[in-house]
Structure 1
Amino acid sequence: MQEVPDDDDWIPDHRRAIGARIRAERERQNLTQEQVILAGRLDRVTIWRVETGQESKLSTLLKVAHVLGVPLSHLVSDERPPSTTGT
């Protein structure tokens, strides 16, 4: 078992990493934010908040994962986001 650090300074970094993985996967699939918004029945502010690492509800992350056709674990893992530049 691992204890949570005394402060929450680590959380924004993890949220930004999740947002980066979501954006990278969307771009890898050549999808626009608009396509994800429509397919996931999300609003524009919500997808912007998700991709920029703002606070997101689990239900929103589940919808995005479903639209992208990837397991939620792929988007929230601690692994580095996939490169979209091909390097």
Structure 2
Amino acid sequence: MPSAPPPPDWVLARRRALGDRIREERRNRKLSQERLAELAGMDRQAINRIEQGHQAALIDNLFRIARALDIPLADLVR
């Protein structure tokens, strides 16, 4: 099965911007990646990959992260 082409640059830039917003909100709440992962029901490595923009976040994980940070999802993806 052929592999999918890499995402365009604008998608990668948006992914990094989303990760930056998650990191900023996490730090504002003085949470470690481990604690955010616990609150979101995820593992720390997944949080790290999303914050770094290395992994496309599933919408379900974004729902979990937004809830754990107690902010509307729209504020993360603006």
Aligned-residue Cα RMSD (Å) equals: 1.2
Q: 2:50, 2:60 → 1: CA distance?
A: 12
Counterpart AA for 1:68:
L
- Structure 2 residue identity aligned to 1:67: A
1:42 corresponds to: 42
Structure 2 residues without counterparts, runs of 5 or longer: 1-6
Q: 1:59 maps to what in 2?
A: 60
Amino acid at match of 2:60: S
Tell me the distance in 1 between the aligned counterparts of 2:45 and 2:60. 15
Aligned length, in residue pairs: 71
TM-score scaled to structure 2, two decimals? 0.85
Following TM superposition, the consecutive aligned residue runs of length 4 or more in structure 1 with deviations greater than 2 angstroms are none
| Structure 1 unaligned regions, length at least 5 | 1-6, 78-87
- Report the structure, 1 or 2, having the larger helix content: 2
Task: State the partner residue of 2:13.
Answer: 13
1:21 Cα offset (Å) = 0.2
Q: Percent identity?
A: 39
Q: Which has the higher contact order (CA 8 A, sep 6+)?
A: 1
Matched, 1:73 2:74: yes
Query: C-alpha offsets along residues 37-83 of structure 1, whole Å, 9 cap, x if unaligned?
Result: 11111012210111111211000011000000000010010xxxxxx
Task: Find the aligned partners of 1:16 and 1:26 in 2 and give their Cα distance.
Answer: 15
